[in-house]
Amino acid sequence: MKWVYILAGIALFIKMLFMPDIASHLGDIPKVISDMSITEKVVNESGVVNAVSGIIFRNRLYDTIFEVIVFTIAILGCNFLLANENPSCTMYQFKDQSSIILARLGATIAALVGIELAIRGHLSPGGGFAAGVAGGTAIGLIAITSSYQWMQDIYQRYHAAIWEKVSVLVFIVLSVITLSGLELPHGELGKLFSGGILPILNIIVAVKVALGSWAVVLIFIRYRGLL
């Protein structure tokens, strides 16, 4: 089998050696691209200052839908693969007060950063995925300083699992509507209420990733004692 990879690598190297020079085709680029940078074009078309958010939630929204679905499948996979294991008898957590205080302070900062990125991700660097990761970090820091039962009770009391699934469905529905060509008014560029539906998709992704991270944290604490 290794010879297959070696031959494939040699074939790819030979192809690169004889690949035609694309510099001669640069004259075929439309004049609009030469007059306006790609970043400016994305900003103008999406109505958001953060061109990355414009690309993720508009230009390549089709890919983003499946990225969200893949994350959901990963959560289901964790639950499925660990379902046959016995729950851990030992929970590894911080015990000293100073570590607990620092971890909870870090959780507070991460949560605030996550909220900021979720609400203003279309105006500044960051976005829904980064906001969800920040929220998941906050949940992880709380998990290693609090009891598993308490976190599980909070998770069930507020129906976090249901909201996580609802957020996925809402994101898919709104994305399909957007891909069909229907868009909300962009508003004034650079303002909080701008970008049409992009800020809404940004917030939904942040909620979905944070709640999904919460579910994964609980699963690994239950079966492994810690992440």
Distance CA 149, CA 138 (A): 17
What is the pLDDT at residue 192?
81
Better-scored residue on pLDDT, 70 or 226: 70
- Look at the alpha carbons of 27, 39, 64, 107 in this order and tell me if their dihedral is positive or negative: positive
Instruction: Give the C-alpha separation, 30 to 89, whole Å.
Output: 64
Cα radius of gyration rounded to whole Å, the chain: 23
Mean pLDDT over residues 89-117, rounded? Answer: 87
Token digits of residue 26: 């640069």
Give dist(CA 28, CA 31) in Å, integer: 9
Residue, of 91 and 26, whose pLDDT is higher: 91
pTM of the model: 0.77
The predicted pLDDT at position 48 comes to 86
Q: What is the mean pLDDT of the segment spanning 187-210?
A: 88
Residue 21 in this model has a pLDDT that exceeds 70: no
- More confident of the two residues 113 and 90: 113
Task: Using CB atoms within 10 Å of the CB of residue 23, give its burial: 0 to 12 exposed, 13 to 18 middle, 19+ buried.
Answer: exposed
Mean pLDDT of 195-214: 91
The answer on pLDDT for 41 being more than 50 is yes
Question: Tell me, what's the pLDDT at 22?
Answer: 44
Residue 32 has pLDDT above 50, yes or no: no
Q: Residues 6 or more apart from 83 whose CB is under 8 A from it?
A: none
